[in-house]
Chain A
Amino acid sequence: MLSRVADSVYWLSAYLERAENVARFIDTNLNLMLDQGDEVFEQWQPLIDTTGDHEPFEHKYGPATRESVFQFLIFDRENSNSILSCLEAARENARMIREIIPSVMWEEINRFYLLVRNQSRKNQLDDARRVLDQVKLSSQTIVGIADSTMSRGEAWHFARMGRLLERADKTSRILDVKYFLLLPSADEVGTPVDVIQWAALLNSASALEMYRKVRGRITPTAVADFLILDRYFPRSMHFCLIEAELSLHAITGSAPGTFQNDAEQQLGRLRSEFDFVRVEDIVYEGLHEFVDRFQQRLNLVGRAIFDTFFATRPAPGPVLQEAAQ
């Protein structure tokens, strides 16, 4: 497969996943904030922090309000991680590989993009909710279409890898920010608001119902354990790493537990750390420190994938050394 094509499939899938996750963040926060009263007390800043784009946000909008956050995260074309920008990028990638993906998938991506773009003048509460619901649904529809119409060849595996690495990153972000906000309140542990906030955290990863089945009652450590280390829940970080690695090895043909390139080495190391870590170890290290280190390493995986597959050059050049730093 052409490096360029692989690159596009990978990012097409990653951007769709990003759009869906941004929609999840906003929707969950909105649900949480609705009965919490005065708008001045609403917490919208953490949402911006989750995305890691707080500097450009503050520069352009100042303090975070519901309206400014909606605008920035959903419709702002200058924010490269807004839902609209993600969909634009996904669609551009899809256009570059229209001949590779099934037509029905292209059409759905196109329809999805147009739908959000045509909404982009509206910033009302009601309209925003509808858009968010639609974003989640469309993203999942596209995954479903890919799953049932694409051969399990290289393209499908690059798509899955892009989606799952992006998802692992986003799950780590919601955990990071919410954990920070929720934990310091020792006096509120076990109070209704506390349980509701933790349930909302799970909900933003669509994890509440599955969490209940395996863990029952809500405790902060069990929530962290579930979202980081569960092997079976499709939005847990561990699950994403396991499945992404499967796709990586399906692409290269390397035997499991071995590596032939930087991508395999980086991802394999990261995944194996998850295989053998306990949530107590993570809490001991500090959740934020753990997540920060995780994101750093995930970035290295991303770099390595880029160098290994997308930036194919006649001979290994300085890029590889850079990635190793």
Chain B
Amino acid sequence: MKFDDYRTEGFYDEMFQADGRPRSTAAGLFQRLATLSDGELQRRQKAADLTLLDMGITFNVYGHADGTEKVWPLDLVPRIVSADEWDYIERGLKQRIRALNLFIDDVYHRRQIIRDGVVPEELLTSAKCLLDPCVDLSPPGGIWCHVTGTDLVRDGDGQMYVLEDNLRCPSGVSYVLENREVMKRTVPLAFEGLRILPVEDYPERLLETLQNVAPPGMGGPNVVVLTPGIYNSAYFEHSFLAQQMGVELVEGRDLVVADGHVCTRTTKGLKRVDVIYRRIDDTFLDPRTFRSDSALGVPGLMEVFRAGRVALANAPGTGVADDKAVYAFVPQIIRYYLGEDIILPNVPTYTCWDPKQCSHVLAHLDELVIKPTNESGGYGIVIGPRASRQELDDCANRIRANPRNFIAQPMLALSRVPTIIDEHLEGRHVDLRPYILYGKDIYVLPGGLTRVALKKGSLVVNSSQGGGSKDTWVLSGAPATIRERCAPSNSARVSSRPSLRAEHTPC
């Protein structure tokens, strides 16, 4: 495989240094790829695509003409993260989730952070995802955001930034596990000589996290995954996680509230549910409390939740901390609750809610990236340097009409990773979404989903808009204790009896 014509083009490259030599952590992988014969990597990429198709690893794109079910795009060149850097990211994420969870709990109770003047009241009360029915709710253990998928990006200078928190129903973790599986199947040789932190125990961790919040009761708690159904874009993930945890996958119509409990309808009558890992949005959960037109939810669910007889993960209401105007205050939030400086910085952010910052934004629209405060999935974003005059004018009008709803950030030069494009490798921009579980402690899945913008120069990594994915390899820094313990030199050993053989001699 030829790196001869590969250029970093002035971007931060996850595999190469600025001088074009492979980074020390990527040297092993580089060697292995460089020795592949011509066309070999492409051949394997085709094999991987076929495997993904056979395995039915797909996602749904809404409103697409040629069928809505798309095969998950995986590029075979992995992104490598060093042990030291991972340690830094992990510490940063744990700090952030701990603080944000305290913030959400405070927001729905005393609002001390507002009384103390750290976050402006008006900013908070105008947040679309602040849900009145969640006031005074106390989810088990005070944990609101059990599952988080924080988006990270690396800028041209090599610094990692938090781009978004995604505290509601982050998706993508199933693809992390399946990517690893497909990688092991199609390019096993690439793994040789590297010690990569495993990701396969995520389902166990998730199950533990969910069981941890079950209301007290007898025996093992009954955990279910609640999906909007097979037409949802993340349906594959919902069924995958249910299967890997061995729990039931349910739709709203499978659930009913009876005698103060949420129950599944089964062939043997009603069965009590203790924990719901819900993958439907807050406002669809319960038509009696939120949107009355929701056909996905369960009437009366919130009342049972409020009474502590069922746990929801994530708890409803966490979206308030996803609001991008609130995001801008996360450094202060961390300082307020934990008394610490933020470890993983935010992308510098202007909140248009503040008149001074707003006028700066309006004056520099063509240099900034403008984002609505309450959207996700890349919708509604205006990239100033690439927008037309007309688009910028429209954007300015929208900001003036409702400044609270917009933030602006400098345009980052996202880092790149070599990616298979036709017959050779080219740099493509990536982000990284690690997954964090908040149970008894906080656990960060090593690595996460690396999304890659497959179009040349594009910064849009969303799979619904032409993005692909990569396996993320976090290198282990620990010594190989387990293998040493079990190395063949170990004197003790099980000796099994030889297998039986047929007595006759075939003639």
Residues of A at under 8 Å CB distance from B? 4, 7-8, 11, 14-15, 18, 30-31, 34-39, 41-46, 49-54, 63-64, 80-81, 89, 92-93, 95-96, 125-126, 129, 169, 173, 176-177, 180-181, 184-185, 188, 192-193, 195-196, 199, 209, 211-218, 288, 292, 295-296, 298-299, 302, 306, 310-311
Contacts and interface: CB of A to CB of B under 8 A. Distances in A.
Given A34-B184, A41-B483, A195-B201, A7 B495 contact: no
Nearest to A133: B185
Contacts of B203: 212
A39 B506 contact: no
Nearest to B502: A11
A73 to B, nearest CB: 12
B204 interface: yes
A136 B505 CA distance: 26
B496 A176 contact: yes
B26 to A, nearest CB: 15
The 5 residue pairs across chains A and B that have the minimum distance between CB atoms = A212-B246, A37-B195, A41-B483, A92-B506, A52-B496
Contacts of B245: 212, 216
Interface stretch (B186-194, B253-261, B421-429): B186-194
Given A50-B496, A212-B244, A37 B198 contact: no
A52 B486 CA distance: 18
B204 A195 contact: yes
Given A41-B480, A216-B211, A217-B211, 12 more contacts: A7-B503, A8-B504, A11-B502, A14-B502, A30-B188, A34-B188, A36-B480, A45-B493, A49-B495, A288-B494, A296-B497, A310-B504
B9 to A, nearest CB: 31
Interface in B483-499: 483-488, 493-499
Given A39-B192, A50-B496, A218 B198 contact: no
9 contacts: A37-B476, A54-B495, A95-B506, A96-B506, A177-B494, A195-B201, A199-B200, A288-B494, A310-B504
A298 B496 CA distance: 13
A125 B169 CA distance: 39
Contacts of B189: 125-126
A288 to B, nearest CB: 6
Interface residues of B, number: 50
Contacts of A95: 506
B218 interface: no
B487 A53 contact: no
A288 B496 CA distance: 9
Nearest to B446: A192
B500 interface: yes
B204 A211 contact: no
Q: Which of B185, B204, B208, B500 has the most CB of A within 10 A?
A: B500
B194 A302 contact: no
A99 B8 CA distance: 67
Contacts of A54: 493, 495
Contacts of A129: 185, 188
Contact of A38 (B184, B480, B486, B504): B480
A184 to B, nearest CB: 8
Contacts of A125: 188-189
A196 B497 CA distance: 27
A193 B193 contact: no
B401 interface: no
B497 A216 contact: no
A36 B245 CA distance: 24
Given A192-B198, A218-B204, A213 B246 contact: yes
B457 interface: no
Contacts of B123: none
Nearest to A88: B506
B503 A176 contact: no
A35 B246 contact: no
Contacts of B487: 41, 43
Nearest to B480: A41
Contacts of A180: 493-494
Contact of A63 (B208, B482, B488): B488
Contacts of B194: 35, 37
Nearest to B202: A192
Contacts of B200: 196, 199
Interface in B185-244: 185, 188-189, 191-198, 200-201, 203-204, 207-208, 211, 220, 243-244
A95 B507 CA distance: 10
A45 B193 CA distance: 19
A4 B505 CA distance: 11
A92 B189 CA distance: 36
A192 B501 contact: no
Nearest to B481: A188
A293 B163 CA distance: 60
A52 B497 contact: yes
Given A181-B486, A218-B204, A35 B196 contact: yes
Contacts of A214: 246
Contacts of B482: 185, 188, 193
B208 to A, nearest CB: 6
A173 B498 CA distance: 10
Given A129-B185, A199-B200, A51 B486 contact: no
